[in-house]
A and B are shown apart, each in its own frame.
Chain A
Amino acid sequence: MSDSFVFSAKGLAVGYKGRALISDISFSLKRGSILTLIGPNGAGKSTILKTITRQLAAIAGTAFIDNDELKQIKNASLAKKLAVVLTDRIKPEMMSCFDVAAMGRYPHTGRFGTLTSHDKDVTRRALERVKALDIADRDFNLISDGQKQRILLARALCQEPEVLVLDEPTSFLDIRYKIDLLDILLEEARSRRLTVIMSLHEIDLAEKVSDYVMCVKGDHIERFGAPREVFDDETIAGLYGLTSGVYLTRRGSVELSKPEGESRVFVVGGNGHGIYHYRALQKRRIPFDAGILFENDMEYDVAKSLSRALFSVPAFEPMDEETYAKALEAMKRCGAVLDAGAPVGTLNAMNGRLLAEARRLGIKTVNDANEID
């Protein structure tokens, strides 16, 4: 076992009552990465997650957390390494949101489960991270589904796990809560190196939040890899058995929120070339500026929603010196340039000038978001 992997499965077979539904599941996850299981209803996503969390016994094969074999770990120590957010709707009697979240301290508290001031601090911080501190004193049964899911996430975070397993965490949520929840998961994965394994129904969101995607189809794993390798129109259509209509993987209809902070890179895009890079930067939580785009460029909406500042000119109008000067200024402030590889022609010649200027000034120019540190 390599130390860099926090979770791995080797030849895992999952199923019920000794009968394997899906066999030979093998994968390894680095600390702080996000794996999403996608696939049609009843394909076995939940079965895999239940086996990983030991709600179900593995039929064959092994799984490891931190070099420890999953089935060897004691209940109490597993609870400190692995936390879950389940699909079950819970209805605790007379418990405040704080009480529910604080229950996550279970593996850390003593014989009677009384909370120390440290436990309370951890709970409050968890509630703060899921943006639910303001409803801490409300009765859990009286808040909305979206708020409940945040509280249950806070409960899981209170366990201070290394691996977080979520079964369809965005079901029943409206679009705003979906975005918020995935943003929180991204933040936890990036800033706290929390490893996330979850199942999602929304493939457009899965593409945007995941580092790895596993396509589960009935009796086997169809694909496993980075979203960029997995997501193409044919794979998705095949996975879900789409016969009419296609899912346009390059233009999912939802975008997550833009990264906070000072822009660290200036993206020179156009002609749709920038979309992938905007999302890659967003995923890595790198704030960026972008330009110069025509407002009718196919990537304009994506760039607009993800960049800190976007320099654009109206459709069918030539790029002007004033916009160029502003873009150049922003590029200098960012200190790095990402060349999305858009062709430079007569109408967008100013983008060529920007790249040339970057080279002349010695500003670091890259072609991929991963090259930015």
Chain B
Amino acid sequence: MNKARRYTRASLVFALMILAFGVILTLNVNIGSKYVTASPLDIFKILLKGHPDGGGYEGAAPEVIKTANSIWKVRLPRILAAAVLGGALSLSGYLLQTFFRNPIAGPYVLGISSGAKLLVGVMLIFVFKRATGMPFWIMMAAAFAGSMLVTGVVLLFAGKMRSMASLLVTGIMIGSICTAITDFLITFGNESDIANLHTWSMGSFSAISWQNLGACAAVIFVAALCAFLLCKPISAYQLGEEYARSMGVNVKLFRVALIGLSSVLSACVTALSGPISFVGVAVPHITKLLFGTSKPILIIPGCFLLGGVFCMLCDLIARTLFSPTELAISTVTAVFGAPVVIALMLSRQKEKTHE
């Protein structure tokens, strides 16, 4: 009886998430810019026809071609980037929370995103001089190296401090140091390099090319698949390191896999769109609340999907709220994400006083 109820709940939550995904995707394609005046039916036709550069629009009205261009060249990559990167961020946060056994760990909170940003900035200013001249894979590699570097430093400190607050403070400090160095570089950098770096470091899903998106998406999907394959040891790890080991988990290898995967995921996001705040903390937590369980086999796909929905929604708000002026994506995610972090801290505090 109970089991059946649990299954029903899980399917219901998944169905709702997919529905929300569809609705927000449609809204994102439709709402916003002045270019699209076509009816939903026309948009659907354009989607079916494919990219305008691929042909198929011979003899179409100029407005339709214009619409097709704006949808395929601007809007779709942006929406899909929001979906994929949001998923990657949430999953990265979930893996870090598992690793640190701490519900407020996340790539942004722990300063990992800032570390990635710093290394990308260094490459941008000292090696390639401008963002356009920098091969995307080098940007990804730099972001990954930066993520790993900061994760290493956080690990070094985290071993000594068990409490949630001190881990958080460590992350914020390291993140601030990275940001400070990045700012320092910007101050003394060349005007034109900086403009690029500055836009990028604010975090945005705009101006993402299909090639870069494809490369990132491929890496992200492989990493997400690997994470899903880890769902059994993750569930055992919920009982603690010692119990996990006693049940046959190779804890050392498992921990390396967790850190590696979460770094790859957050590096992809940082390389493609710049650091985005709080998604990694808020989404896994909301996912657990929705499913009413912490079973990784549900939470891993669930938080990936919800992360996509969440980021698409935030992007929609960022684009439309003060249109035509766009907000930075982090501005919006922080408004929704930060309260979740505060709520988590408060509920933890309450538990402590209860004990």
Q: Does A113 lie within 8 Å of B245, measured CB to CB?
A: no
Contacts of B231 in A (CB 8 A): 112-113
> In the bound complex, what is the Cα–Cα distance between A106 and B232 (angstroms)?
8
Q: Does B240 contact A (CB under 8 A)?
A: yes
Q: Does B245 lie within 8 Å of A137, measured CB to CB?
A: no
> In the bound complex, what is the Cα–Cα distance between A93 and B291 (angstroms)?
12
Q: Does A94 lie within 8 Å of B232, measured CB to CB?
A: no
Contact bitstring B236-250, A, C-beta under 8 A = 1, else 0? 101110110111111
Which of B32-40, B42-50, B67-75, B293-301 lines the interface with chain A? B293-301
B292 to chain A, nearest CB (A): 7
Residue of B nearest to A113 (CB): B232
Q: Does B179 contact A (CB under 8 A)?
A: no
Contacts of A215 in B (CB 8 A): none
Q: Does A75 lie within 8 Å of B239, measured CB to CB?
A: no
Contact bitstring B109-153, A, C-beta under 8 A = 1, else 0? 000000000000000000000000000000000000000000000
Residue of B nearest to A165 (CB): B246
Q: Does B246 lie within 8 Å of A95, measured CB to CB?
A: no
Most B-side CB within 10 Å, residue of A53, A54, A93, A103 = A93
Contacts of A100 in B (CB 8 A): 239
Q: Does B181 contact A (CB under 8 A)?
A: no
Contact bitstring B288-310, A, C-beta under 8 A = 1, else 0? 10001111010000000000000
> In the bound complex, what is the Cα–Cα distance between A177 and B246 (angstroms)?
25
Q: Does A106 lie within 8 Å of B297, measured CB to CB?
A: no
Q: Does A92 lie within 8 Å of B250, measured CB to CB?
A: no
* Docked complex: B211-262 residues within 8 A CB-CB of A: 229, 231-232, 235-236, 238-240, 242-243, 245-250
Contacts of B246 in A (CB 8 A): 53, 55, 79, 82-84, 86
B52 to chain A, nearest CB (A): 43
Contacts of B243 in A (CB 8 A): 84, 86, 88, 90, 103
Q: Does B349 contact A (CB under 8 A)?
A: no
Q: Does B353 contact A (CB under 8 A)?
A: no
Contacts of A88 in B (CB 8 A): 240, 242-243
> In the bound complex, what is the Cα–Cα distance between A250 and B250 (angstroms)?
47
Q: Does A113 lie within 8 Å of B235, measured CB to CB?
A: yes
> In the bound complex, what is the Cα–Cα distance between A75 and B239 (angstroms)?
17
Given A84-B246, A111-B229, A106 and B236 touching (CB < 8 A)? yes
Q: Does B106 contact A (CB under 8 A)?
A: no
Q: Does B163 contact A (CB under 8 A)?
A: no
Q: Does A130 contact B (CB under 8 A)?
A: no
A-B contacts, CB under 8 A, total? 75
Given A93-B103, A99-B295, A79 and B247 touching (CB < 8 A)? yes
Interface size for A (C-beta < 8 A) is 31
Q: Does B247 lie within 8 Å of A90, measured CB to CB?
A: no
* Docked complex: A70-101 residues within 8 A CB-CB of B: 75-76, 78-79, 82-84, 86, 88, 90, 92-95, 99-100
Residue of A nearest to B293 (CB): A94
Q: Does B2 contact A (CB under 8 A)?
A: yes
Q: Which listed residue (B232, B235, B238) contacts A111, Cβ 8 A?
A: B232
Residue of B nearest to A84 (CB): B246
Most A-side CB within 10 Å, residue of B238, B239, B248, B292 = B239
> In the bound complex, what is the Cα–Cα distance between A88 and B235 (angstroms)?
17
Q: Does A94 lie within 8 Å of B294, measured CB to CB?
A: yes
A280 to chain B, nearest CB (A): 34
> In the bound complex, what is the Cα–Cα distance between A75 and B288 (angstroms)?
30
> In the bound complex, what is the Cα–Cα distance between A114 and B3 (angstroms)?
13
Residue of A nearest to B229 (CB): A111
Residue of B nearest to A53 (CB): B246
Contacts of A84 in B (CB 8 A): 242-243, 246
> In the bound complex, what is the Cα–Cα distance between A144 and B195 (angstroms)?
59
> In the bound complex, what is the Cα–Cα distance between A111 and B232 (angstroms)?
7
Q: Does A8 contact B (CB under 8 A)?
A: no
Q: Does A195 contact B (CB under 8 A)?
A: no
Q: Does A282 contact B (CB under 8 A)?
A: no
* Docked complex: A234-262 residues within 8 A CB-CB of B: none
Q: Which listed residue (A79, A92, A114) contacts B238, Cβ 8 A?
A: A92
Q: Does A94 lie within 8 Å of B2, measured CB to CB?
A: no
Residue of A nearest to B238 (CB): A92
Q: Does A159 contact B (CB under 8 A)?
A: yes
Q: Does A55 lie within 8 Å of B293, measured CB to CB?
A: no
Contacts of A113 in B (CB 8 A): 231-232, 235-236, 297
A167 to chain B, nearest CB (A): 10
Q: Does B292 lie within 8 Å of A103, measured CB to CB?
A: no
Q: Does A90 lie within 8 Å of B240, measured CB to CB?
A: yes
A208 to chain B, nearest CB (A): 28
Q: Does A107 contact B (CB under 8 A)?
A: yes
Q: Does A55 lie within 8 Å of B242, measured CB to CB?
A: yes
Q: Does A109 contact B (CB under 8 A)?
A: yes
Q: Does A104 contact B (CB under 8 A)?
A: yes
Contacts of B293 in A (CB 8 A): 94-95, 99
B64 to chain A, nearest CB (A): 47
* Docked complex: A39-67 residues within 8 A CB-CB of B: 53-55
> In the bound complex, what is the Cα–Cα distance between A90 and B243 (angstroms)?
9
Q: Does A94 lie within 8 Å of B239, measured CB to CB?
A: no
Contacts of B294 in A (CB 8 A): 92-95
Contact bitstring A286-315, B, C-beta under 8 A = 1, else 0? 000000000000000000000000000000
Other 12 A-B pairs with CB < 8 A, given A103-B235, A111-B232: A75-B249, A76-B248, A86-B246, A93-B294, A94-B294, A95-B293, A103-B238, A103-B247, A106-B232, A106-B247, A106-B248, A114-B297
Can you give 24 contacting A-B residue pairs, CB < 8 Å? A53-B246, A54-B245, A75-B249, A79-B247, A82-B246, A84-B243, A86-B242, A86-B243, A88-B243, A90-B239, A92-B239, A93-B288, A95-B294, A99-B293, A103-B239, A106-B232, A107-B247, A111-B229, A111-B232, A113-B231, A113-B232, A113-B236, A114-B297, A137-B2
